[in-house]
Amino acid sequence: MQVSEARRFQQLRGHLSYLKLNDAAEALNRVLDQARTERMSLTAALERLLEIEVEATEARRLAARERFACLPEPWTLSDFDFAAQPGVDEKLIRDLATLRFLDDASNVLFVGPPGVGKTMLSVALGRAAVEAGNRVYFTTAADLAARCHKAALEGRWKTCMNFFAGPKLLIIDELGYLPLPEDGASALFQVINQRYLKSSTILTTNVGIADWATAFGDATVAAAMLDRLLHRAAVAGIDGPSYRLRGHQSQAETIRAGVNARVS
């Protein structure tokens, strides 16, 4: 009987490994000991074994989505200080954090001067989307334009467009901070057009919507891009103190207080 049970145990481990349920195979001995000690039913023990595999699989998939997303910081919405940035519509941001805007392929535009938290909010929404099981990709407008330009030169334009059309949520940061190359506005439009009514885009910019035609040098492309972005969109205009300057001021005050304390 002992030899038979030992063989059955090895066969079970082998079956789990063959099915690539490696975490369950590794946990098998521990779960069997737990089942014996706690007098678990066969169903409960099997459920616990498969739960371990499911949890490990979900952790791997989450890690893969995080690597693909290329989010620049580990920010979440809890990191954002709404009290210190009164220019942000907190009710709107909380609603966006439910990710309902992904269901109907709506877009989000964060518009405001540098340092007011546009990137932080977009990354926080992106992380929430990743954790909810969605494919997300983060890029700057300048990098997107450069990548599209290189793809066009190398004959990979369609592949590049398919890549940017793929994620459930595409975050395009810093539009307007750096001048786009000659065909940059056209490339950005084509990415937006590929995603139109199919998937969501978050875009951050320091250029007011009324100034896009002048800023991007092509009124026709700017109008067409805005038409698609704003068809289904939440626009969050942020006008408040700079997060970065506030941080520098706080640091300076701390240093000044320390110096004064030593002097006195």
Query: Tens-digit pLDDT profile for the chain (264 aa)?
Result: 455 888 888 999 999 999 999 999 999 999 999 999 999 999 999 999 999 999 999 999 999 999 999 999 999 999 999 988 888 999 999 999 999 999 999 999 999 999 899 999 999 999 999 999 999 999 999 999 999 999 999 999 999 999 999 999 999 999 988 888 778 889 999 999 999 999 999 999 999 998 988 888 788 999 999 999 999 999 999 986 665 545 444 453 454 444 445 545
Sequence-ordered list of residues with C-beta below 8 angstroms from that of 126, at least 6 positions apart, any chain: 69, 71, 136, 138, 169, 171, 202
Sequence-ordered list of residues with C-beta below 8 angstroms from that of 242, at least 6 positions apart, any chain: 113, 114, 115, 116
Q: Where are the domains of the chain?
A: 2-65, 77-245
CB atoms within 10 A of CB 43: 8
Tokens of 81: 């200080």
At the topology level, CATH places domain 77-245 in Rossmann fold (3.40.50)
| Rounded Cα–Cα distance for residues 260 and 254 (Å) | 10
| Rounded Cα–Cα distance for residues 128 and 185 (Å) | 29
| Rounded Cα–Cα distance for residues 128 and 121 (Å) | 11
| Predicted TM-score of the model (pTM) | 0.85
